[in-house]
Amino acid sequence: MEILIIFGLILFAWLLQTILGSSQINDFNKNYNELRRKGRVSIGRSKGIFRSGVVLLMLIDKNRNIKIARKMQGITIFAKFKDYPILIGQDLLNIEEDVYEKMDRFTQKAFDGAVDVFKRVERGEEIPSGKSPLQKASSIFSKSKEER
C-alpha cells in the first residue's frame, strides 16, 4: 500500500512539472513570436542544472542596435521573461564595457551566445542544435567503448 502512495506522489510531481514546464515554454513562444513580428531576434542562453539558467531575447534593428531585450533567469520552472532595459540602445557587436560588466556572469554567457549566433547567421552558417540528454549519455558510453 505504501508503494502505491509513493508511486502516486511521484506521478503527481511529474504531472505538475509537465504542466508548469509547458507554461514556461508558452511564455518563451509568446515573447519570441512578439519580438519576431517586429524584426530580427537574437537568442542567447546559459544553461544551468544546479545554478541559475538564463535565456536572453533581443530585438535587433538593421544597424545592430538592441531595441528590446528580455531575460528569463532562474533555477525553477516558475521563471518568466522580464524586460531587461540595460541593453536597450546598445550595438549588439560593440556593447559598452560598463554595461557588459553590470550583467551577472550567467547573463554575460547568454549575451555572448546571442552574439555568436548573430554572427553565424550573418555569415550564412547553420546553427547546430544542441545534444539531448540521451544523446550526451550515449556519446559518453560510445567514447568509453572506443578507448578499450
DSSP H stretches of helix in 52-132: 97-102, 105-122
Find the domain containing 38 and state its range: 2-127
How many domains in the chain? 1
pLDDT at residue 142, rounded to an integer: 62
8-27 pLDDT per residue, tens: 999 999 998 888 888 888 99
**pTM of the complete model:** 0.77
pLDDT at residue 132, rounded to an integer: 61
Is residue 62 situated within a structural domain?
yes
Give yes or no for residue 33 having a pLDDT over 90: yes
Is residue 148 situated within a structural domain?
no
71-110 pLDDT per residue, tens: 999 877 778 999 999 999 999 999 999 999 999 999 999 9
